């Protein structure tokens, strides 16, 4: 009985031995591959060299506050919203004609009335979807084509493609634009991104006239939301808008306005916001430490840590980095003779931004992208040119 099974048994044994050996080799190979990979990716990483700065930049002092605010909003309690007093202005806007009792600041009753119930539900859904992504995931840089470019291309009737735009101009609003006549050069780019609804009429020679993406912060839409049909289109109503959320309560403005917009109104992914916040805080802290020689603890005294924020322009540039092969930057910078904005007389800049730190980031983009922290290794920084 045993004899016929012996060859079979030997064969099985052989198979087991061979497969064990080969899986070991595979294991060893993949392990050494990993080591090699680590070695290769870490070596040129001047990028990750200063862990003190990286850790400091990773602290979000508003995290607990924001979480609580979002929870309260989801419960219909708007009382504590408006860290920047926007709730009162939101209250005064009359597009929903909502009256709240000043003593409690609760909107829940009114929002749950049949008339507003649909808005309320949609608002909650948007808030949930948006806040679910509030975590640090730098790979979001690799998703910008899918999340932003493709919806915009679909709207423009362009063929679906996961490629990048060949060239993009990001037009900041600095008064330095008035010293040059970059209008034609700006318009020669495939895609022109403009910021916060700065007007072009009367300035075409300096800033150009074409707009493909209107990039705004949610305060802008919040103001537009009071207008008939949420009119927010100085560049034409067919121009897609991309907006980052400054305060979660602004998702109401989004809910109300999204329906009436003829072009896409896209909200930036919260992972993208968090990446931008970290990068700018890193550059700001680095600059502070290098220039003052003081400890990072004192950074918060100079830059109000609760209010500190990247500028819209910085995030628009990040968007261009993720969706374009060549990025040209115009109107970022200052000079003593120039106004803060080309289109207003505003002299002072906002204190919640650290523009110098952001300029340092842009210069790294041009000169030594390999030192820029937080960007995923898989992400290739496109070629960047600063026109000043
Ligand atoms: C950009 O906008 C211009 C002017 O509106 C338009 O002619 C052009 O087709 C747009 N480009 C893309 C790639 O959508
Ligand atoms: C916003 O409007 C667009 C177009 O009408 C629609 O496809 C999209 O689902 C809306 N977004 C939300 C969150 O309701
Ligand atoms: C990291 O940066 C901080 C702040 O600029 C500086 O004080 C510290 O010496 C740096 N550490 C290293 C290892 O370079």
- Mean pLDDT, consecutive 10-residue stretches, the chain (388 aa), reads 50 46 38 34 53 94 93 82 40 40 41 72 95 97 98 96 97 93 98 96 96 96 87 92 95 91 95 97 95 92 86 97 98 79 68 89 96 95 96
**Residue 78: alpha-carbon gap to chain centroid:** 25
What secondary structure letter does DSSP report for 81?
-
Ligand 2 center–CA 318 separation, angstroms: 24
Specify the residue for token string 């150009």. 208
Decide: 200 in ligand 1 pocket, CB within 6 A.
no
Which H or E run contains 120?
helix 114-132
CA dihedral 325, 331, 334, 338 (to 10 degrees): 170
Q: What angle do CA 120, 121, 125 make, to 5 degrees?
A: 115
Find the CATH number of the domain harbouring 171: 3.90.1480
Residue 39, in any domain of the structure: no
State pLDDT tens for residues 16-46.
444 444 443 333 333 333 333 333 344 444 5
Q: Which atom of ligand 1 is nearest to the CA of 152?
A: 14
Cα distances from 300 to residues 280, 288, 293, 294, 351, in angstroms, run: 14, 10, 14, 11, 12
Residue 23, in any domain of the structure: no
Checking DSSP bridges between strand 265-267 and strand 213-217, what pairing results, if any?
unpaired
Query: What phi and psi, each to the nearest 5 degrees, are found at residue 34?
Result: -60, -45
Question: Which one of 258, 262, 268 would you pick to mutate in the ligand 2 pocket, going by the greatest count of ligand atoms within 8 A of its CB?
Answer: 258
Instruction: Report how many domains make up the chain.
Output: 1
Residue 210, in any domain of the structure: yes
Residue 284, in any domain of the structure: yes
pLDDT at 306: 82
Decide: 126 in ligand 2 pocket, CB within 6 A.
yes
Nearest CA to ligand 1 atom 1: 212
Q: Which residues contact 293 (CB under 8 A, 6 or more apart)?
A: none
Cα distances from 91 to residues 45, 81, 86, 224, 239, in angstroms, run: 49, 11, 8, 14, 28
Residue 364, in any domain of the structure: yes
Question: Which one of 47, 50, 55 would you pick to mutate in the ligand 3 pocket, going by the greatest count of ligand atoms within 8 A of its CB?
Answer: 50
The whole-angstrom separation of Cα 291 and Cα 37 is 36
State pLDDT tens for residues 240-285.
999 999 999 999 999 989 988 899 999 999 999 999 999 999 999 9
pLDDT at 80: 57
Strands (E), the chain: 165-171, 191-195, 213-217, 241-244, 265-267, 324-330, 383-387
Ligand 2 center–CA 80 separation, angstroms: 28
The whole-angstrom separation of Cα 207 and Cα 153 is 24
The whole-angstrom separation of Cα 369 and Cα 311 is 20
Collapsing DSSP to helix, strand or coil, 170 comes out as strand
What residue numbers bound the domain in which 259 lies? 52-387
Q: How much of the chain exceeds pLDDT 70, in percent?
A: 76
Residue 326, in any domain of the structure: yes
pLDDT at 340: 76
Structure tokens at 308: 């500190």
Collapsing DSSP to helix, strand or coil, 209 comes out as coil
Nearest CA to ligand 2 atom 13: 126
Residue 152, in any domain of the structure: yes
Q: Which residues contact 234 (CB under 8 A, 6 or more apart)?
A: 197, 199, 200, 214
Question: Which one of 52, 54, 295 would you pick to mutate in the ligand 3 pocket, going by the greatest count of ligand atoms within 8 A of its CB?
Answer: 52
């Amino acid at each position: 009985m045993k004899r016929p099974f012996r060859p079979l048994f030997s064969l099985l044994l052989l198979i087991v031995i061979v497969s064990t050996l080969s899986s070991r080799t595979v294991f060893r190979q993949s392990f050494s591959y990993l080591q090699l990979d680590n070695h290769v990716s870490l070596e040129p990483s001047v990028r990750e060299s200063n862990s003190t700065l990286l850790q400091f930049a990773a602290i979000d002092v508003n995290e607990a506050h924001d979480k609580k605010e979002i929870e309260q909003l989801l419960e219909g309690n708007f009382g504590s919203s408006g860290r920047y007093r926007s709730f009162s202005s939101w209250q005064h806007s009359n597009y929903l004609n909502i009256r709240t009792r000043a003593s409690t600041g609760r909107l829940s009753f009114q929002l749950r009335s049949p008339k507003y119930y649909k808005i309320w539900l949609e608002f909650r859904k948007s808030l949930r979807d948006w806040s679910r992504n509030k975590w640090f995931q730098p790979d979001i840089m690799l998703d910008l084509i899918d999340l932003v470019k493709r919806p915009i291309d679909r709207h423009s009737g362009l063929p679906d493609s996961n490629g990048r735009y060949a060239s993009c101009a990001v037009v900041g609003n600095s008064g330095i634009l008035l010293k040059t006549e970059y209008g034609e050069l700006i318009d020669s780019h495939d895609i022109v991104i403009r910021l916060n609804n700065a007007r072009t009429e009367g300035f075409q020679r300096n800033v150009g006239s074409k707009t493909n993406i209107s990039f705004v912060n949610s305060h802008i839409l919040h103001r537009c939301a009071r207008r008939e049909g949420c009119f927010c289109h100085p560049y034409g109503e067919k121009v897609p808008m991309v907006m980052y959320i400054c305060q979660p309560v602004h998702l109401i403005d989004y809910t109300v306005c999204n329906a009436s917009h003829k072009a896409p109104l896209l909200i930036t992914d919260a992972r993208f916001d968090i990446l931008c916040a970290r990068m700018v805080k890193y550059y700001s802290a680095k600059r502070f430490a290098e220039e003052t020689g003081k400890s990072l603890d004192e950074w918060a005294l100079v830059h109000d840590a609760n209010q500190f924020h990247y500028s819209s322009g910085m995030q628009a540039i990040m968007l261009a980095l993720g969706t374009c092969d060549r990025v040209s930057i115009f109107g970022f910078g200052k000079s003593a003779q120039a106004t803060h904005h080309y289109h207003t007389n505003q002299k002072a800049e906002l204190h919640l931004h650290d523009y110098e730190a952001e300029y340092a980031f842009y210069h790294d983009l041009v000169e030594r992208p390999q030192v820029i922290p937080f960007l995923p290794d898989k992400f290739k920084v496109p070629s960047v040119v600063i026109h000043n």
